[in-house]
Every structure is written in C-alpha cells, then in structure tokens.
Chains A and B, each alone.
Chain A
C-alpha cells in the first residue's frame, strides 16, 4: 500500500533528522541516508528492511528516559520513551488522506420487472428500484478522509455507479476543535435524522433500504448545508442536532431560490444496560418546502399524468436500536433489533397536467397524511455467520386531491414486504450475503426477489457507526 510506504519513508527520514540517532556512528548514518535516497523508487520490502535497521540504530542510540527517576528491576531496563515516540512526518506525500474503497456486486433474481418498480399510493421518490435482473456490480464507493488542519476534519465519498457515472455522495468538513461538545458539519452530508439515514448502504444489514426510507426519503436523505450537533456532558448519551440545507433532494425539489430549503431537528439518546446490552433511540423532524416537485402518475383513466407539487412537507421519525452481546463480546454471538416509524404530512397545491394539452392543466389543493414502519432483527449465531429477518409496512393513509380527486384518487392500500437474509463475514473487510424477500407494493402484484451480494472493503480500516 503506497500510504504505508510513504509513512515509513517519512518515519525513516524523520528519524534520521532526529537528535536521538546522533549517537549512532557517522558511517552508519551516511549509509542509511544513501539508502533513503534510493528508497524513492524502492518497494515495500526494502523499506521494511531499512526500517528494521533504523530501529536497531535507534535502540543503540537510546538516551536516558524522560520519565521520573524510578528504580527499575534488573530485568527491566529503562526504555527511552523519547526515541520510541511516533516520529513527525516529512515528504510531500506523507500527508495523504486515508483512502477506503468499497466494492459491491449483486446477482438479482426478480419476479417483477425492476423498471416498473413503484410503491402504490406514494409519490415516486426517485431511484429506489432494486438492481437490474441478473449480474451487476452495485454502487462502488471511494472515500478520502483526513484532518485538514487543527480545526477541521474533511471527508469525501464518491459513489461510482454501475452505469459509469460518478456522484458526490458526501463531501463535508467537521469543525473538531470547538469546546463544549459542538461538532458542526458543513458541505454535502447524509442527514442524521432517523437511525439508518446517515449510514452508508454497505453497512446495512440488508441489501436494500427499508420501505419507509424508499417511500419517504427516496432511499436516504442527503442535503447540501450545515449541521450543528451538540453532545450533552452527561454519562447518558444525549445528542441534539439541527440541520439546514438546500432541500433539493426528495421529498424536496430544486427551488432556484435564496435561503434555506430544508430544516431538520433531532435528538438521540443512548446508553448501556449492564455489560451485555446497549441501545439508542431518537426522534427526528424534517421539514421542506418543495416548489414544483414534478412526477408522473397514472390517473384513474389509465393515462400518464404530469403532476407538480408545491407546498410544505413534514416528516417525523422515531427510531430505536437495541444490541445484545454476552458480556459485551460481540465476536461469537450477538443480537440486534432495530425499528423506525415514519409519519409524513404534506399540504399545498398540486398541478395536474394530462398530456400537457393546454387548458387541461389544473391546480388544486392537495394534502396527505401517510405513515410507515419497519422492524428487523439480526442474530449472529456463530462467528462470521448471521441471520436476519425484516418486516416493512406502509400505510397510504389519507390523500386529499381536492378538485383533482376524480382523476387521481385511488383505493387505500398498505404495501408490505417480508425479508430474510443470511450473511457470512470472513473478516471485517468482506461480507457475502444472500437475501430473499417477498413484497406487495402494488395491489395484485407480488414480487419475489432474491439477492446474492458481496461487499469488499479495501484500504484504511473504516470504523462503523453504532
């Protein structure tokens, strides 16, 4: 890995310049310096050998400990902490950020055409369909992160899609040096509403997003804006957050206006119960003012109708997760249960345009109250192996189309889905999963879906959020 090579060469250079090595003979140093010069074109093995030699030289040069004088036992010679402390970096590449790549692929066997994928009674929310039938690579991810300086941490995550497009999934800075538990974030980021929303898809316990995420957030809610998080100085984990953003993503729409397009507030609490249990629960509220949010829907006559919504969209989420591991040791067995409940209220005007014929477009009041939830449990029954089950359900609730009612109103219907999965995780860096599910997202349409998926992580050791 280039980064470790560079880090080592930096270490080597720094050690050479450090005073600690002065005790080593000039000849030794000259020789090592010479090798350092060649090192630029050298491979990893060479650097390691060199590092070992430097270590030896360093041990010889060990100076007296800076620690308080204390009688050491005969068998425990004092070790100079100064010489073994991490050496400062040098060289133009020594500051390269941590790089992580995530590779994913899937085999999908779907009884219904994914191009027709839609959730009846819900406003289409964007690209939520499962992968294409058969083999495909799923979204790959490339992440770069590092401290920018003493005040800011930066993170960039690019998403590489199977159809050869690159999109910026997240690109944000975090102010890290503020006192008082404040960690403001700015840029493009996944909102911290709910539980799953700010987790990347490759760390989910199932291949796809729960139905409420698909229906209400188009998968996940991301915005360009600001986030303020405050962590209370209590033993109980209590985090309060507020976000403002452009509100360009579903359930918002690009507004072409100055000012704030979306706002969110949330509170998360969490703690341990004994050594074996831990939990987190939260409440979130998201409000947007989409202007001219356009979508297509089939009207009662069977024609494709162009619709546009302008108004207020409010979403509330209650989420919880409970984890159990015997004595807190999740290596052998552990269990996790999580659930989230969504309520959405939208009110405003809906413009109905049948075929774009002039004179037929009409605008009327529109309001809806809809909800949905999911719950899942995942059990690791032996090291590396987990099974999981999930149930998702949506309620179309009440939708009032006003004067457009005769053309658009549909029967109430509650989409639902059952999923089971089995996954194998040979190491922290790879996972293989098989998932089967049956969904009824439209009346009289049952979709049986099978996914076989792999997730591979390369590079820096990523840390997973709780």
Chain B
C-alpha cells in the first residue's frame, strides 16, 4: 500500500467513524420516545424517530431507511410489549449492529417500567390483535412518561458515561417540570372525571385510567379489526341505554367510523394527537398533553 492509498484509507475510515463520535445516536421506534430522548439528552443525543404520528404503529414496514438508521444507532428505544413485533426484530437482525440487540445496553424498552393494563386473559388470535404483554399504548398517560424517563436517563448515562452528570441534571429538571405539568393537567381535566366515552381503537386505556374517563365501547369489534356496520349498529343501540359525550380516535386513524357514529348519536367526534406530532399543537411532549386535554374538554361541550 503506497502513501496515497494509506491516506485515502485513513480519510475513508475517519469519514466512517465521525458520525458515531458526534453524539449518542438514538433510534426511537415511535415519536413519544424520540421526544423523551430529546428532553433527556439535549444536545448530547441525535435522535432518529422511525415512525411518525400519522402512521399506524401496529403496521410498520422494515423499510431500508430504518435498517440503515439502526445500523449506526447507539441506543434503540422501543415501547416493547410486542408493539413493534412486526418490524423491529427484522430491522435489528438486518442492521448488523450488535450494540442494539435485545438484552444489550443499547436496547431499551419502555413497557417493563410501567404497570401494564389489559393483559389478555385469553391468548388467541381470534380475539384480534392482542398483545400478550398488555395494551402497548402506554404513552397516553403522562405518569408513564415519567416512569420511563428515569430508567431511560440512567441508560443514557451508562452508554455515555462522560456526560452522566449532564443526563442526570436534565432528568432532574425534566422530572420537576413534568410533574408540575401533570398536576396542572389533572386540574384542567377535572371535569372529565367519570365522563362516558367511545373509542375507535382500544388505544386510550392508560389515558382513561389517568383521567377517570369511562370507556363504554370500542368501534372496532376486536382490537385491530376494522369497524363493521353490524358492530357499529350494536354500539349505536348501546348508546340508547348508555349515552356518551364523545367518540375519540387517534390522529392516524380514519375518521369514517367515528363520523358515522357521531352523526347518528349526535355526539362529538374527537381526534386526539395520540403522540408527538399528531397535530400542529402536539409539537413536543408538553404540547401533546396540553392539546389532548384541550380537545377532550372541547368534546365535553
């Protein structure tokens, strides 16, 4: 190898190595964990979010772009509870990145850090798209975000020990501000307590648990199964006996079933941002819950 080739090789290697040194590369499967990693990591992390709020998180493809980003990730932040079962294992298998395989410090799941609800008593695909670990849409309760924030900040500090104090300080500041915000949201949401609602998909279990909303029925006959006219008619009949204020759905879902029932039952159809980026107001985690509560309160009118 002559000196020119050596130089070229050196430049090439440097070019390949540089991106990893700049900051901790975080690969978040869904927007809420991307936003949380940004809150906790500040300018020491570079966050890539694999999906957006208008995508159905159950149906994501192992796209080339995701494999390429997982290749250079230092930390993968996933929800777990089989939310990403259809694509993340394949992405990680193809990414050739041993740092972020399950079980390694570079792989973080949020679900083990919260109390899971709706664990199915019967595991059978005839029950629809059920998750053995429980309902995976844990981000609709801000207290779950707080529960995940601690372990996630610890993980960031483990992976990037030089900045451990920085992550700890950011976590402390975030936790204080977040907890104050929760108290504030709970105050605002007081009129929602006990309010009966319909949901399109069982995506809001944790939100209901937090705010005391009462879910009367879901428009999907089984989780992940498209609403049918027969089932919608049953729900409509049920509303005669148990009137509700509104029907809520996530931003990524079609409004057809919600509109159908809203028109006939004379109730409000409310689209919630569901995660960061779900609408213009939900630009960050704070905006997500500000807007969620504002829309729910509007739906009560």
Contacts and interface: CB of A to CB of B under 8 A. Distances in A.
Interface of A: 1, 4, 44-45, 48, 52, 59, 65-68, 70-76, 78-79, 81, 84-86, 153, 174, 176-183, 229-238, 268-272, 275, 278-280, 323, 327-332, 383-384, 426-429, 461, 463-466
Interface of B: 16, 19-20, 51-52, 54-56, 58-59, 61-65, 67-69, 71-72, 82, 85-87, 89-90, 93-98, 101, 112-115, 119, 121-123, 125, 128-129, 132, 143, 146-147, 150-151, 153-154, 168, 171-172, 175-176, 179-180, 182-183, 186, 210, 224-226, 252, 254
Nearest to B227: A383
Nearest to B65: A272
Contacts of A269: 64
B143 A84 contact: no
Contact of B112 (A1, A86, A176, A231): A86
Contacts of B71: 181, 231-233
Contacts of A271: 64-65, 68
Nearest to B80: A86
Nearest to B132: A4
24 contacts: A59-B115, A68-B171, A72-B179, A73-B180, A76-B146, A76-B182, A79-B115, A81-B113, A85-B112, A177-B98, A181-B96, A183-B94, A183-B96, A233-B19, A233-B72, A272-B65, A278-B61, A278-B65, A329-B59, A332-B254, A428-B59, A428-B86, A464-B62, A466-B64
Contacts of A330: 56, 59, 61
Nearest to B96: A181
B226 A70 contact: no
Given A68-B150, A68-B172, A465-B62, A328 B52 contact: yes
A466 B63 contact: yes
A69 to B, nearest CB: 9
Contacts of A181: 71, 95-97
A71 B179 contact: yes
A176 B58 CA distance: 26
Interface SS majority for chain A: loop
A465 B90 contact: yes
A149 B269 CA distance: 51
Contacts of A323: 61
Given A270-B63, A428-B59, 4 more contacts: A270-B64, A272-B63, A275-B54, A329-B55
A175 B33 CA distance: 29
A72 B151 CA distance: 14
Contacts of B68: 231-232, 234-238, 270-271
Contacts of A176: 93, 98, 101
Nearest to A234: B68
A331 B201 CA distance: 14
Contacts of B175: 70-72
A70 B72 contact: no
B113 A79 contact: yes
A180 B65 CA distance: 17
Contacts of A427: 125, 128-129, 224-225
Contact of A65 (B65, B119, B150, B182): B150
A327 B52 contact: yes
B114 A230 contact: no
Nearest to B172: A70
Q: Which of B112, B114, B147, B154 has the most CB of A within 10 A?
A: B147
B220 to A, nearest CB: 11
